[in-house]
Amino acid sequence: MGIQAPAKVKYQLIHETLLQKDNVLNVSALCRIAGVSRSGYYAWVNATSSRQKREEQDQADFMLIKQAYEFRGYKKGARSIYMRLLHMNPPIVMNLKKIRRLMNKYGLYCPIRGSNPYRKMAKALKTNYTAQNIVNREFKEFGPRKVLLTDITYLFYQEGCCYLSVITDVCTHEVLAYTVSRSLKIDFVMDMIDELLKKYEAELDDKTIIHSDQGFHYTCRAFVKKLQDHSFIQSMSRKGNCWDNAPQESFFGHMKDEIKEVIKESNTFDEVNEILRDWIDYYNKDRYQWELERLSPAEYYLYQQTGIYPLNKGKTKNKLEQRIDK
């Protein structure tokens, strides 16, 4: 089974998967899933030092490509980037093959946003376990803290790429917990659940549903066991059907619309963390949403709990909101 993703990404994910205690697949099986050879993987493992040097050179060259790509604010393909590099002062000569390779490696696409190779890889390296789709797109049928949606997205910044794992309340749209990581290792998703429990365990119960896609983070035994240990109900989208987790996809879309460009200009991982921390705080407390009765997610949660509309103390819940609470 071949997956359209850079070989380095595949080797790295295979390596990280092998380090997981709950992994049940050997090198041969993982290589077969990823569509790479065992010899290629072992060569990658034995070439750590030279790989690091090549990575540093790739990042330096990609910064030049990115500079050409963003010239005058118009997106460009590989050929236009090649010509723009030649017109820079001093001129830069970089062959088309290298430009295309680095654009693919760092997710620089034109003019249409490309697919997420990391998500494809994660889904391919999942176990055979899947949970029933309990939510079944009935997102408006549940009250606060009854259905939580989770997913992972990737963000590019000056040093490379990082990953954001988020869990949200489908009713109130609140971000309840999130973690950011430099890699796709399972740890940062487990840390997100720990953060959720630390903040909101008293508000959750054995009827709380946690819904995700079928990526390997959510099908691995460690994650499944953690949900079971805390009596959560696990639900999963159908394979390859993004509409089954549409509100979470929408959240990532709005987030990237507002801060993706700022994150791209961030120089360090810590800067990305700070931007995300500030924006999520703003999103929860001060980003008002029409479908939430013109309230922020945090305000809407209190409104659902108390029945007191914060913009008009005398207003009580309408019939739809009463039905949601049932």
pLDDT tens-digit series, residues 17-56: 888 888 889 999 999 988 999 999 998 888 877 867 888 8
Mean pLDDT of 284-307: 88
What's the predicted TM-score (pTM) here?
0.58
Residue 271 counted as domain residue:
yes
Residue 320 counted as domain residue:
no
| Pairing of the two strands 233-236 and 209-212 | parallel
Strand partners, 165: 152, 179
Q: What is the tens place of the pLDDT at every residue in 193-209?
A: 999 999 999 999 988 99
Residue 281 counted as domain residue:
yes
Kindly indicate the confidence band of residue 127, based on its pLDDT and cuts at 50, 70 and 90: low
Mean pLDDT of 275-301: 88
Residue 237 counted as domain residue:
yes
CATH number of the domain encompassing residue 222: 3.30.420.10
Q: What is the mean pLDDT of the chain?
A: 82
Mean pLDDT of 127-150: 76
Distance CA 157, CA 182 (A): 11
Residue 274 counted as domain residue:
yes
Total domains present in the chain: 1
Residue 212 counted as domain residue:
yes
pLDDT of residue 278: 93
Lowest-pLDDT range, 123-132, 239-248, 275-284?
A: 123-132
Residue 200 counted as domain residue:
yes
Residue 95 counted as domain residue:
no
Of residues 283 and 139, more confidence is placed in 283
Q: Which domain holds residue 191?
A: 147-306
